[in-house]
Amino acid sequence: MRIAGAVRTVVAVAACAVLLTSCGSGSDDASGAGQRSGHAKGAEHGDGSRARAAEAGRIPDVGDRLQTKIPEDSRQVVAVYGDGVNSADSTVVLYTKTGKTDSTWEKARTWPAHNGKKGWTTDHREDDKRSPVGVFTLTDAGGVLADPGAKLPYTESVSMQAPHYWPKTHWHDFDYVIAIDYNRAKGTPPNDPTRPQGQTKGGSIWLHMDHGSGTSGCVSLSKSGMAYLLRTLDPKQHPVVVMGDKTNLAT
């Protein structure tokens, strides 16, 4: 369902303060230590062979603690592999199950990405500049740009535009976003300010477009990668994101 402009505006005004201290921040430094290093150079690529996952029924390199939190009915997983607990560099991999009776995860696409500029945490707090480790559902999307053909409910609104007092490299961060259901109300626009666990636990953790360095807690990838995810992630397939640094993921 698309939300009328007036309603979006009210939601956006209420959410403004939250957005400035969570998903985006004018203090992010596009030339700082979070800049992608050698392994992330180059555009995202598709895996033409759609290689089978290493273990049937499991997301590769994800241990039992998080593996068991992936819903049984989920057939799409966005895995975010952080380089290290204090690193802003990561890799996003889309895994899918194709047949109704197929329990094997297949690697569909891979993209270089960024996460929180200070890395990862298992106890996320407002403005800690780290991304939360965990398994979270993906139910809502939106952005400044028109709907590119998203299967998830998509809210188009200029109110999501990054403030222009941020560095110019960040102005298009929110052209496309997918809300990560960490401390948010499902079924609402990505910038809905509701925080079920309270304000101190942070929120507004999104998948959004990359500006070349670490974020304030979100996961970012290329515009084409975001467009692909928007066109591919299907609520009927119960998509989730599994995210964290490689050590925490493997636990």
Contact 144, 159 (CB under 8 A): no
> Which residue of the set 114, 208, 211, 238 is catalytic?
208
Of 114, 170, 211, 218, the active-site residue reads: 218
Angle at 140 between CA 136 and CA 141, to 5 degrees: 115
Structure tokens at 135: 């398994």
How far is it, in rounded angstroms, from Cα 206 to Cα 199? 16
Active site residue 208: yes
The yes-or-no answer on residue 218 being catalytic is: yes
How close are the terminal C-alpha atoms of the chain, in Å? 39
For Cα atoms 157, 144, 168, give the angle at the middle one, nearest 5 degrees.
135
Catalytic residue annotation: 208, 218
